[in-house]
Amino acid sequence: MNNRERIDQLKKEKTLSKNDLHKLLTTADDADREYLFAVAREVREAVYGKAVYVRGLIEFTNICRNDCYYCGIRKSNQKAERYRLTKEQILACAGDGYELGFRTFVLQGGEDPYYTRERLADIVRSIKENYPDCAITLSVGERDREDYVCWREAGADRYLLRHETAEEDHYRRLHPSAMSLARRKECLYTLRELGYQVGAGFMVGSPGQTVDNLIADLHFLQDLRPHMIGIGPFLAHQDTPFGSEPDGSYEMTLLLLGILRLMFPGVLLPATTALGTIAPDGREKGLLAGANVLMPNLSPVAVRKKYELYDNKICTGEESAQCRDCLARRVESVGYEIVTDRGDSRVEVLRETD
């Protein structure tokens, strides 16, 4: 089989043998890549048309109890200036976002114990009360099942928790021993069972990552069947143990976006901030490779620079309105259109008719 045939088979069967995935990931030339992206666009347009969904991202705390080796807000980074937004500030961000047309908010933060089960539930309830037509996504890491249950009851609709890597030895390379891959996976399955729309994902080109690791990531995703898959290149942060590691590959990230679109036709696939950081038109190229979601920043400008997971993160100086307008132009430049409804995933719909 050549790469074109592999791509055709992936589109048809939504799966490929390990060997063929390996070949596709390592030998795709420019023509193969263009073909993959064209097929991925065809599939994304069959499911979602030209729509690009936007989620307003509110980075509400950069305090974290974890110490992941790659992450700029890890607890050992003494140089990070820590902050927490108050409930009022978070509601104000959501209010600004609502005015700008956003109907879905992502509350993302480090694993900050200050936000107890009840405190975060209260925030979720308040946003839902003020903006009942909005979807709320939480992204606050690994927590007890009871926390997840409580927030779901409070009105949270979705949860983002990247698995980061699906294989044990690579997981160990990226995280200190206090963390465990088994627990992370368990959290994801719990969230799914509780009725959240779940987002998983991984970094591309993180230190020690092999092509086999990436294939294991794809297989894990096939088992989990998440509604959303967030991937972006690993980017070094100077004040972490991985500060001098090479950045992940832009090309490999795009290739994986195309593959993910064919494997999971109805999945929500963001063109991430990391992709926009590694290349000036990274997000546009991501959309052209099969992505259909953007997550502009709604955090107060005063704290944006402090939520620095990696060096040179984009959108840290812009106001929310500027980001929205900038994104609208970028989306139009590649022939797509921003849609401001809740943007629910079409994974379920597809499964029923498959």
Least distance between ligand FES and beta carbon 58 (Å) = 14
Minimum Å gap between C-beta 151 and ligand FES is 28
| Closest listed residue to residue 257, CA positions, set 244, 249, 269, 266 | 269
Q: Are 311 and 238 in contact (CB under 8 A)?
A: yes
x/- mask, ligand 5AD, residues 265-284, rule CB under 6 A, reads: ---------x----------
Selected range binding ligand FES among 130-138, 145-153, 197-205, 314-322, rule: CB under 6 A = 314-322
Query: Which one of the spans 54-62, 75-83, 106-114, 319-327 is the region binding ligand FES (CB under 6 A)?
Result: 319-327
Does residue 266 belong to the site contacting ligand FES (CB under 6 A)?
A: no
Q: Is 108 exposed, middle or buried (0-12, 13-18, 19+ CB in 10 A)?
A: buried
- Based on the shown chain and the rule CB under 6 A, indicate whether residue 327 belongs to the binding site for ligand FES: yes
For residues 201 and 240, the answer to whether their CB atoms sit within 8 Å is no
Does 160 engage in binding with ligand FES (CB under 6 A)? Answer: no
Burial (CB count <10 Å: 0-12, 13-18, 19+), residue 268: buried
Rounded Cα distance, 107 and 136, in Å? 8
Instruction: With H, G, I as helix, E, B as strand and everything else as coil, classify residue 38.
Output: helix
Residue 203 interacts with, from ligand FES, ligand 5AD, none (CB under 5-8 Å by kind): ligand 5AD
* Residue 73 structure tokens: 């807000």
Among 37, 69, 70, 250, binds ligand 5AD (CB under 6 A): 70
Strands annotated E in the chain: 51-54, 56-61, 104-109, 135-139, 158-160, 197-204, 228-233, 293-294, 337-339
Of the candidate spans 14-22, 92-100, 234-242, 254-262, the one that interacts with ligand 5AD by CB under 6 A turns out to be: 234-242
**Contacting positions for ligand 5AD (CB under 6 A):** 70-71, 162, 164, 203, 232, 234-235, 237, 274, 309-310
**Contacting positions for ligand FES (CB under 6 A):** 296, 315, 318, 322-323, 326-327
